[in-house]
Amino acid sequence: MKEYDLIVIGSGAGLNVVSKARQKGMKVALVENGPMGGTCLNRGCIPSKILVTPAELVRTIADAKRMGIHARVESTDYRLVRERMWALIAPDRDGILNSVNKDAGIDLYQTTAHFVGRNVLQVGDEQITSQRIIIAVGTRTRVPDVPGLLDTGFLMTEDFFEITDLPKSMVIIGGGYKACELGMFLASFGCRTTIVGRNPRLLKNEEPEISEIVLRKSREYMDVLVGKDVTAVRAEGGLKVVACRDRHDGTTQEVTAEQILVTTGVQSNADWLRPQSSGIVMDKDNYIIVDKYLETNVPGIYAIGDIIGRTMFRHTANYHSELVWYNMFGGKRIELDEHAVPHAVFGYPEVGGVGLTQEECREQGYKVLVGYSDYIDCAKGYAMGEEDGLVKVIVDRDSRRILGAHIVGPHAAILVQQIVYLMNAGDQTYLPLARSQCIHPALSEAVVRAFGSLHDPDHHHDH
C-alpha cells in the first residue's frame, strides 16, 4: 500500500491545496475521474460566461430602443463563440495535466476512487493511504425520474458545452440559475427556448421581488413555464415532446423541441467515494458533514467545495481550500465564516446577492430594517432607461449590521460586491457607505439610496 503526506480527491479547488503541499515538499496523491480542473473550468462558470457575455450584448441591443436606438443583430456566430470557449478551456485543462504529470512529487490517479477502510482508498487495482485526506469531489447533475426521458435523450451541463451546432429549439427542464443563463444564451443565439420549472418562481432562492423581475424580463425573449411538473417525455417525428402538468390547477400541456437540456439541480458525488467505509458521516442527501474547521468526524479527513452541500460556488471552494490548508498544517485553526457568501446569476437581467434573504432573517429571529431602491430613481439608471433594476438591502435593526443585499439589473454582481466588502469590514455596518461621497451620476447611487430608505418591513410599506 502506498503512503502519502496528503491525498486530494478532486482537481477543482482541490488543486489549490496540491500546489501548496508541493511547495512544502510533500508527497501528494491526486485523484480525478474526469477532466482536470473540475466543474468550474469544464462545465460551469467559465464556459457558461464565455457564452452568456455575447448573448447579453444581443439583449442589450434589443433593449436599446428604450433610449431611441433602433438596431438589430444581423447574425450571431456560435462557431466563433465556441472556438473562443475551447481556446480557454482546452489549454487550461491540458496545462494542469502536464504540470501534474511533470511533477515527480505528485502521483495522479485518473480513476474513481473509493474508501475501503479508515484512511484507505482503492484506486484502480492499488490501495493508497494518508493521515491527511481532502475530499473535493463535487456534484453532478441530478436527472429527474421522468417516464421516457432516458429513452428520448437529453443534454446536461456535463455535455452541453460540447455541442457543435445549436439546435433550432430547446426545452430546458428546471428553473434555476443554469436555466436562466443558458436559456438566455440559447434564445439570444436564435434558438427557440422554453423553460419548464417546477417552482412557481424562477430562481426560487432569490428574493421574491427579484424572481418576479427576472421572470417578467425573461419572458420577453423566451417562453417560461413555472409551477409545472414534467410528467412524461417522448420522441415524435424527429422531435422531443415534453408533457407537463400545472401544479396549481392540474391542466396539462405539451412543449416540443429538437433537444432537451436538464438543469434540475445536482446530487452529491459522495456515492462514488463510499465515505462510510472510512467512518465518515453524511447527511440525508449524501453530502459530507464537516465541522467549523471543515473537518469530517474522522480526524485528518477534511471536505471542501460543493461536496459539503451548502454554498456551491467556485469562489467559496477556493476560500475553503485556503482554510483547510491552514487548519491542516498551520498553527492556530481558523473557523469557517459563511456570513457573507456572494453569488451572481449572469442571465438577463443579471442578479447579484450576498448574505441572508428577508425570509431567512425572519427564520433566524432577526429584527430587521429593509431598504429598496429602483435603478431608475438615480440619474444614471434613468439615463440607461433601466426600468427594472432593483436594489434590496437588509440590516439588523439595532446594530445596523448588514445582513443581506440583493440586486437585479445591469452590473448587479459588481454592485453587490461593494456591499460584500462592507460586510467583511469593521463592525459590518453600512456607516462607511453613509460617510462616503458617491460618484454622481453612477449606478452605485442606487446602493446608497437603498440604505437611505431603510424602514421596518412589518409596518406596511408597498415597494
- Domains of the chain from N-terminus onward: 2-141+267-329 (3.50.50.60), 149-264 (3.50.50.60), 350-452 (3.30.390.30)
Average pLDDT over residues 419-444: 97
Among residues of the chain, what percentage have pLDDT more than 90?
Answer: 98
Among residues of the chain, what percentage have pLDDT more than 70?
Answer: 99
Q: Whole-model pTM? A: 0.96
String of DSSP letters for 12-80: STHHHHHHHHHHTT--EEEE-SSSTTHHHHHHSHHHHHHHHHHHHHHHHHHHGGGGT---------HHH
- pLDDT tens-digit series, residues 192-226: 999 999 999 999 999 999 999 999 999 999 999 99
- pLDDT tens-digit series, residues 237-288: 999 999 999 999 999 999 999 999 999 999 999 999 999 999 999 999 999 9
Q: How many angstroms separate the CA atoms of 393 and 26, rounded? A: 46
- Grid cell listed for 397: 435593526
Q: What share of the chain is helix, strand, coil (3-state, %, to 5)?
A: 35, 25, 40
Please give the pLDDT value at position 332: 87
For 65, 121, 294, 452, 453, the CA distances from 283, given in Å and listed in that order, are 51, 21, 15, 42, 41
pLDDT over threshold 60, residue 308: yes
pLDDT classification of 460: cutoffs 50, 70, 90: low
Whether 22 contacts 106, CB under 8 Å: yes
pLDDT classification of 331: cutoffs 50, 70, 90: confident
- Grid cell listed for 364: 433566524
Average pLDDT over residues 34-55: 97
pLDDT over threshold 70, residue 400: yes
What's the DSSP call for residue 203? S
Closest C-alpha among 261, 264, 266, 148 to residue 194? 261
| Per-chain mean pLDDT for the chain | 97
User: CB burial class (10 A; 0-12, 13-18, 19+) of residue 284?
Assistant: exposed
Whether 38 contacts 140, CB under 8 Å: no
Please give the pLDDT value at position 396: 98
Please give the pLDDT value at position 211: 98
Residue position matching grid coordinates 419548464: 196
Average pLDDT over residues 307-319: 96
pLDDT over threshold 70, residue 462: no
Average pLDDT over residues 287-293: 98
pLDDT over threshold 80, residue 183: yes
pLDDT over threshold 90, residue 461: no
